[in-house]
Amino acid sequence: MFLFLAHEAGSGKSFLVDLISVAATGRHCPVITMASNKEEMEKRLGSVLLEGPPIISIDNCVENLEGQLLCQMVERPIVKIRVLGKSETPECEWRGTLYATGNNITYAGDMTRRGLICNLDPEVENPEGRTFKHDPIGELMANRGKYVAAALTIARAYFASGERVSCPPLGSYEGWSRFVREPLIWLGEEDPVKSMEQARRDDPNRDILHRLVDQWIAHLGTERSYKVAEITQVAEEKRTLDGMRFDLVRPEFHGVLVERSANSRGNEIDARRLGSWLKSIKGRIIDRHRIVISEESERHGNRWKLEPLDKKDAQGVSGVSGVAHTEQKEEGSVGQSYRGPTPNTPLTPSGSDDETITKDLILWKECEADTAHLVSDAAEKNKHGAVTAVNRFWLPKEKIVSLTRTAETSRVWTVTFPKRMWDLRPQNDPLG
């Protein structure tokens, strides 16, 4: 499957699909729309399989592309489809090509390994207003034979050369890789499969797993196992603010679990749904860790543990004890990792701020008064490059000299700030 992406309408996504279709079939590409729910979408895709067009596009998608039938349609050679209104499931052998267009969407779930992405960025505010000197579709229609011959010549030249491009295998798509991907790389073009990395990076299902692993390490560690009820209790623990209202001690951990296991009200964790989610993701390797069942019991409930692939990566959470494995906190603490002033009174040491220091720090969050960042030293990393959260402390914004992100997708920032603040940070942080 091929997904054409842009940030704005009118960038030329559907035009490019038409250009490909004209070259392959001599006519514009037929399109269907994305349905508002998965059931209706499967009906539309099933109708496409029954009809068997050589090329079709899901035009102007507004949701991420995922779903069981979509995965089967773009990978499996034979798919059985139920005919609407009948108790029949004929076999459909489809050899067509599926395209999709949309703005700021992506593949999700299992589709991340089944589709490629083409990004369009006209770099203008109103791309539909651009003018061009040529008519590519008209020229292609007038000389279609020449263009088709040129495309086939690339593949023919590659095989005639006797050379073989070495590239990572692409399971389920070996034929396409051999006849399309390898000739393009041999010609000096970029490997089109590299766009799968973008899909994996943007996949919301994978993103939440990375966040779950980060939060599990920070608040539960990797040395102990927990029942679902215990995980829920740790995530939903609250503290009193101003003696009148309550606030979550670990809002980020709670937020990750609520995204996949919320109750009917949508703001609390449903233990049954959390257990089902953990079962669905157990064994998957994320950031060199995987969630496993350490003790299985239908009567008393399974015990879950985050297991590092390398035992050297194992991290405990100091102070976590008791039946529910909650930690003892000092007054004014933020979670189990902060020792010092409250968020509304950021640390401001006395003395000169002339001498500065530059460090790689994780910016965890901003305090309620929005005047300081909760940061931690990111200089210490394990052998796999995973950031180790140590020495959390509050850094007032007015004291920050410079702030630069180390990478577009990283939460690690290079920060220059007064050296005295670094010298006064906590030295015995429970996460260290």
Boundary residue ending a domain (106, 123, 142): 142
Q: Is the domain of 315 the same as that of 380?
A: no
Q: State the Cα–Cα distance between residues 372 and 396, nearest whole angstrom.
A: 4
R_g (Cα) of the chain, nearest Å: 27
List the structure tokens of 419. 């050296």
User: Structural domain of residue 261, as residue ranges?
Assistant: 204-327
For 362, the token pair is 């994780």
Calculate mean pLDDT across residues 90-107: 93
pLDDT of residue 340: 37
299 backbone dihedrals φ, ψ, rounded to 5°: -80, -45
Q: How many domains does the chain have?
A: 3
Contact 160, 166 (CB under 8 A): no
- Residue 304's CB is within 10 A of a number of other CB atoms, namely 24
Last residue of one domain, picked from the residues 113, 142, 171 = 142
Same domain, 296 and 375: no
> Are 299 and 406 members of one domain?
no
Answer yes or no: are the C-beta atoms of 12 and 120 closer than 8 Å.
yes
Q: Are 401 and 416 in contact (CB under 8 A)?
A: yes
Rounded Cα–Cα distance for residues 387 and 377 (Å): 9
Same domain membership, residue 280 and residue 225: yes
Residue 91 CB contacts under 8 Å (≥ 6 apart), including other chains: 78, 79, 80
CATH number at residue 40: 3.40.50
The residue to which tokens 């008519």 are assigned? 135
Tens-digit pLDDT profile for residues 342-379? 444 344 444 555 788 888 887 766 654 566 676 766 54
Alpha carbon distance 403, 406 (integer Å): 10
The reported pTM is 0.62
Q: Which residue has the tokens 């079962």?
A: 279
Percentage of the residues of the chain whose pLDDT score is greater than 70? 79
Q: Which residues contact 45 (CB under 8 A, 6 or more apart)?
A: 69, 70, 73
Q: Are residues 222 and 320 in the same domain?
A: yes
pLDDT at position 300: 79
Quickly count: other Cβ atoms within 10 Å of residue 169's Cβ. Answer: 8
The C-alpha angle 309, 315, 321, rounded to 5 degrees, equals 130
- Give the CA distances from residue 4 to residues 11, 116, 221, 301, in Å, rounded to whole numbers and listed in that order: 10, 9, 41, 46
- Last residue of some domain: 142, 163, 192? 142
Band (109; pLDDT cuts 50, 70, 90): confident
Paired with 61 in beta bridges are 102
Q: What does the pLDDT look like over 50-78, one tens digit per residue?
A: 999 999 999 999 999 999 999 999 999 99
Mean confidence (pLDDT) of the chain:
81
CB 347 within 8 A of CB 398: no
Pairing of strands 97-103, 79-80: unpaired
Instruction: Retrieve residue 223's tokens.
Output: 């040395």
Give the integer Cα–Cα distance in Å for 4 and 118: 5
* pLDDT given at position 157: 95
> Which is more confident, 319 or 160?
160
Q: State whether the Cα torsion 193-185-157-24 is positive or negative.
A: positive
The answer to whether the CB of 68 falls within 8 A of the CB of 111 is no
Helix (H, G, I), strand (E, B) or coil at 404: strand
Q: Are residues 319 and 403 in the same domain?
A: no
Other CB atoms within a 10 A radius of the CB of residue 178 amount to: 16
- CA–CA dist 76, 431 (Å, integer): 47
